Structure 1
């Protein structure tokens, strides 16, 4: 494969423990949307992709792969344009603050990021969270200075699975798409990689995706980002 000189990471489920970080936040948002009605909130959580029986988010669900705009559209379908934009702004702000405050890094990820940064590889984040949410989380985890960019859904014309984040990362770093690896735990992440023509599409099993859901789009599926430095070291 072409030598990889840059990596775009999904955030939740890839760098951050999705279940540990987002369940309480999503539940609080659902309760507010349901005006305190617990049963209604549970229905909203299920519709957005939370499996209460399995106590985890479903792969490729609105929660796992969508944006706050998608959640607002699902939970608040009758809003006017002005109300919808205000609600999205509220969701973005709430998630940026709470997501950073409650962020739990996946095991081994922080050291892997340090190792990759030390090797000279350019690092970026491509997430369907807001850009502010991504930046706050990287700061909270103590690794923001190692990343060249964070692209939220609001930083590009079209969010994942469109290729805009790959194009923006290439423009910023001067790298070719073939020199970039895309790493993520959902099909949206790998669809982004395919659409952007990246040199390596890496699925990770640390989030909501499964071997079955990721394999058709991935060049390789690994347990987590913790394995990535060893994988890339083999290319040189």
Structure 2
């Protein structure tokens, strides 16, 4: 378990995107299904099977927590579905998948309830905000722009922004460097273990799990300082920060 720093020490918040800011299942099922169909050459039965392999639970009608599609990168998905491709063909597939995900991810994005109001509230409390996703940086920017929240963020971090994506500490180190902060002054918020593992690896000041994505409470609690139903609970959590500041 990470050391829980005083809330007043937190100056910036780094958010996962899908499952945290965006409804993962409603946004990504159609996109993932189309990519699986392409990967299977139009064979619908095979597409169904490889979508299951990627993490979609057909019986539950949702993606499994920490599965390749839910928590991995486009590169991980290509390697899973096309394990025998040579480097040139692999690179071409990654570009194709990335381009499709940037366009369709923004077009299909469904915001978590209260998204804009929550982020605006946190900015009003003085926090600098960032996104760290295992989608591409371009995908993060495109989705934020489509949802009208891009101006609220200082930094966008994709799997292709840093040397090592989540669950490695690099996204938090990058955010901290951009802001001139220490990792201990940053809260990491996400719906998958990858997000919380990133927080722990980087020595982030606070690791917050949210239940708006694909992971149940019991999976997140051992790795989180707190678990909330969604990011909509953050302004209340940090209300004490402003009260303490006003008293000092």
TM-score, normalising length: structure 1? 0.99
Q: Deviations over 1:24-47 (max 9, x none)?
A: 000000000011111000000000
2:63 matched residue in structure 1: 57
Offset at 1:110?
1.6
Whether 1:138 aligns to 2:138 is no
Structure 2 alignment gaps of length 5 or more: none
Q: Is 1:36 matched with 2:70?
A: no
Encode CA deviations 1:116-164: one digit per residue, 9 max, x unaligned.
Answer: 1122200001100000000000000101011011100000000000000
Q: Partners of 2:142 and 2:218 in 1: how far apart?
A: 32
Q: Does residue 212 of the first structure (1) align with residue 198 of the second (2)?
A: no
Q: 5 Å matches for 1:1-236?
A: 1-2=5-6, 3=8, 4-235=10-241, 236=244
Deviation at 1:182, TM superposition (A): 0.3
Question: Which string of whole-angstrom CA distances, capped at 9 and with x for unpartnered residues, describes residues 38-78 of structure 1?
Answer: 10000000000000111000000001100000000000111
Greater Cα offset, 102-111 or 151-160: 102-111
Q: In 2, distance between residues paired with 1:169 and 1:228? A: 20
Structure 1 residue runs of 5 or longer lacking an equivalent are none
Give me the whole-angstrom Cα distance separating, in 1, the residues matched to 2:126 and 2:107.
29
> Could you tell me how far 1:10 is from its partner in structure 2?
0.2
Return the alpha-carbon distance in structure 1 between the equivalents of residues 115 and 209 of structure 2: 15
Alignment root-mean-square deviation, CA: 0.7
Aligned equivalents of 2:154, 2:143: Cα separation in 1: 15
Moved >2 Å (runs of 4+):
none
Alpha-carbon distance in structure 2 between the residues aligned to 1:65 and 1:153: 11
Shift of 1:176: 1.3
Work out which of the two has the higher radius of gyration on C-alpha atoms and give 1 or 2: 2
The CA distance in 1 between the partners of 2:144 and 2:182, in whole Å, is: 25
The alpha carbon displacement at 1:89 in A equals 0.8
Structure 2 distance, partners of 1:172, 1:138, is 19
Displacement after TM superposition at 1:233 (Å): 1.4
